[in-house]
Amino acid sequence: MTSTAVGDRTELERARQDFQQQLLAAGLLVDTAVPGLYGRSGEFEDIVDGIDRVVVAAGPGAAATRLRFPPVFPRTSFERTDYIASFPHLTGAVTTFAGTNAEHAELLAARARGEAWDAWLEPADTVLVSAACHPAYAKYSGTLREGGELLDVYGYCFRHEPAIDPARMQAFRMHEFVRLGTADDAAQHRDTWIGRGLEVLDSLGLDATAVPANDPFFGRAGRMLAANQRHENLKTELTVRLYGDLDDGTAVVSCNCHRDHFGDTFGIVTPDGEVAHSACVGFGMERIALAMLRTHGLAVGNWPDSVRNRMFP
Ligand code: ZN
């Protein structure tokens, strides 16, 4: 048993590395000095834009408030997400130099000696965006309007997880539709988007499956959080098999119900005075693009017409 498992694992790692090398050789992704961090070619961006057209067409359109945030957001908002409690290992915080001339000279001397100079940096007031929806909640602290809010948020996220698997990038985009409102509003949003998300993926020619999921919470306490998340069925992922039977598939869309977590930490209440509930569906744009390249091949010109016509009308 053990040797089979080890064999499969090696085979899986090889499959991931092969795919990564194919993408780099085709010029779709641009290698950097850091594993899991890539530049994108114009052709890759065209694919992402095409996918986004299909996602937006399935979305709420003008019914949603469109919000775009930079790739960093206030540390005060990051605090309120509680992300550091669950995912300290994925976090990226911005540091900067705020010292004196003398301290700068010390930094440069250390640098000239080939030593680490980070010790002279201190926390800035920004953190890399942990999930596309996270910067949005602070805007809604207070009482929601009647009917709550429906948001369209699209932006870069950061997760510190260096990996060979091109589907596990450190910086990637999520296009999210977020609902803020009553418990029913949030639950309904989450449930509706499981089906609608599967339709979007199907229209892109992807064979996706909805699976109950749990996040990679950190540490011993994290195992309990993960069990709770699974038990309460708060997160459903839509997965596509990029590597055949070698793993359980790659999550390309996630449908999350946060219950009253963000309502509580950001002080958001419904007009009835209840703590607001929230839910979001997030389309992982790079992962969907990679799933399509894996499924339809690296030459976009050869993709099925039905798919191309939807993406590039
Ligand atoms: Zn979200």
Mean pLDDT, the chain, rounded, equals 95
pLDDT at 198: 98
Ligand 1 centroid–CA 14 distance in Å is 32
Rounded to the nearest whole angstrom, what is the distance from the C-alpha of residue 159 to the centroid of ligand 1?
Answer: 14
pLDDT value at residue 6: 53
C-alpha 165/C-alpha 250 separation (Å) is 10
State the distance from the centre of ligand 1 to the C-alpha of 172, rounded, in angstroms.
14
Backbone angles phi, psi at 24, to 5 degrees: -70, -45
Does the pLDDT value for residue 219 go beyond 90?
no
Q: Are 173 and 48 in contact (CB under 8 A)?
A: yes
Report the separation in Å between the CA atom of 305 and the middle of ligand 1, taken as the mean of its atom positions: 32
Tell me: pLDDT of 3 over 50: no
Compute the distance from residue 112 Cα to the ligand 1 centre, in Å. Answer: 43
* Helix, strand, coil share of the chain (percent; to 5): 45, 25, 30
Look at the block and give the residue holding tokens 């850091």: 34
CA distances from 157 to 90, 104, 259 (A): 11, 31, 22
Please tell me the number of Cα atoms within 13 Å of 104 on its side-chain side.
6
CA of 23 to the centre of ligand 1 (A): 28
Q: How confident is the model at residue 4 (pLDDT cuts 50, 70, 90)?
A: very low
DSSP 67-136: E---SEEEHHHHHHHTHHHH-GGG--EEEEE---HHHHHHHHHHHHTT---GGGEEEEEEEE-SSTTGGG
The alpha carbons of the chain give a radius of gyration, in whole angstroms, of 21
Distance 259 CA to ligand 1 centre (A): 12
pLDDT category, 7, cuts 50, 70, 90? low
pLDDT of residue 216: 74
Taking the centre of ligand 1 as the mean of its atom positions, its distance from the CA of residue 310, in whole angstroms, is: 26
Q: How many CB atoms lie within 10 A of CB 293?
A: 23
- pLDDT exceeds cutoff 60 at 103: yes
How far apart CA 101 and CA 79 sit, in angstroms, is 32
pLDDT of residue 313: 93
Ligand 1 centre from 41 Cα, in Å? 27
Secondary structure of residue 303 in the 3-state scheme: coil
Q: Map residue 150 onto helix, strand or coil.
A: strand
In angstroms, what is the span from residue 220 Cα to ligand 1's centroid? Answer: 24
Question: 30-42: per-residue pLDDT in tens?
Answer: 999 999 999 999 9
- Cα 103 to middle of ligand 1, angstroms: 40
CB atoms within 10 A of CB 127: 25
Would you state the pLDDT for residue 233? 79
Query: What per-residue confidence (pLDDT) applies to 2?
Result: 40
Residue-wise pLDDT for 125-162, tens only, equals: 999 999 999 999 999 999 999 999 999 999 999 999 99
CA of 132 to the centre of ligand 1 (A): 6
Q: Strand pairing of 121-128 and 72-74?
A: antiparallel
Percent of the chain residues past pLDDT 70, beyond the cut? 97
Distance CA 172, CA 26 (A): 20
Three-point CA angle 53, 57, 61, nearest 5°: 115
CA–CA distance, 270 with 246 (Å, rounded to integer): 46
With a threshold of 0.85, does the pTM exceed it? yes
